[in-house]
Amino acid sequence: MRTAYLGPAGSWTHQAALDLFGERGLVPLARDELFAAYAAGTVERVCVPVVTSIVGVTPYIDAVLDLPAVTVIAEYPRMLGYSLLARSGTRQQEITEVFAHPVALEEARPWLDRIMPHVRRTEAASGGAAAQRVALSPTLDKASLGPRIGASIYGLVSLADGIEEGPHNVTRWWVLGHEAPAPSGHDKTSLLASLADEDLAGLLASFGDAGVRLLTIYERPSRKSLDTHRYLIEVAGHASAAGLIRLLHRRRDVRVLGSYPRAY
């Protein structure tokens, strides 16, 4: 099976895909290519980060919600760690610039402040993109922060491992597929509701009336007006459970994004 993930290689999303599926069939794609491939059915699965414990929802969650049809088949949470990667021959004391995802810079800030206080910190789209920039640099004064896997992919070496000191970030990925998994007995269901603000209280009350336990709610802009929003609502249980069936029958404005084994 072909599994696409947000490229380039060497990012934490790459590592998540490796953790879940191994090396075979992994395809790194840019954001637009990733979602186009999923919508066209040219890949069987897509691995995408949707929530972090530090910044909340990621920019990619809106792209998922924009898809005309989507099936979330799994979730994967993992606490992230960071290594300082550089080209072979680079000495830590000679580094003048560090590339990293903004979250990585925040997690490693205490270490950087203490060990490399005068180094320039430059944001990158991902740990993989940061490592790639270091590998392409003509000088030996650049380094990146990211998973250690970036070293083997881009021919770099790790000068320091485990430099994250907090706030510790746990990222949650969704795996998008095309066939819903059967109930596991310990599931989570992700729902999407688009409605006016004045209707939110009634929607939330309907979950209690149906005996469905709410877990999380994330508000996203509707892109239509200030008083309408999209809500990603996650509940305990599978979409085939009686209570959720009753809720979905009564609330036609609620769409199931997927039911999958609950990871936390």
Question: Per-residue pLDDT averaged across 27-41, rounded?
Answer: 96
- pLDDT score recorded for residue 55: 86
- pLDDT score recorded for residue 151: 96
- pLDDT score recorded for residue 16: 97
- pLDDT score recorded for residue 64: 96
For 60-100, the pLDDT digits (tens) are 999 999 999 999 999 999 999 999 999 999 999 999 999 99
State the pLDDT confidence band at 54, using cuts at 50, 70 and 90: confident
- pLDDT score recorded for residue 147: 95
- pLDDT score recorded for residue 57: 94
- pLDDT score recorded for residue 160: 97
Asked if residue 123 has pLDDT above 80, the reply is yes
Q: Cα separation of 45 and 1, whole Å?
A: 8
Mean pLDDT, the chain, whole residue set:
95
Q: Cα separation of 87 and 106, whole Å?
A: 23
DSSP string, 88-118: TT--GGG--EEEE-HHHHHHTHHHHHHH-TT
Q: Hey, what domains does the chain have and what are their CATH numbers?
A: 83-169 (3.40.190.10), 187-264 (3.30.70.260)
State how far Cα 85 lies from the chain centre: 22
pTM of the model: 0.92
Fill in the amino acid letter for 113: D
Q: Cα separation of 91 and 78, whole Å?
A: 31
For 216-260, the pLDDT digits (tens) are 999 999 999 999 999 999 999 999 999 999 999 999 999 999 999
Residues contacting residue 204 through CB under 8 Å, at least 6 positions apart: 214
For 142-198, the pLDDT digits (tens) are 999 999 999 999 999 999 999 988 778 899 999 999 999 999 999 999 999 999 999
**What's 218's DSSP letter?**
E
- pLDDT score recorded for residue 46: 98
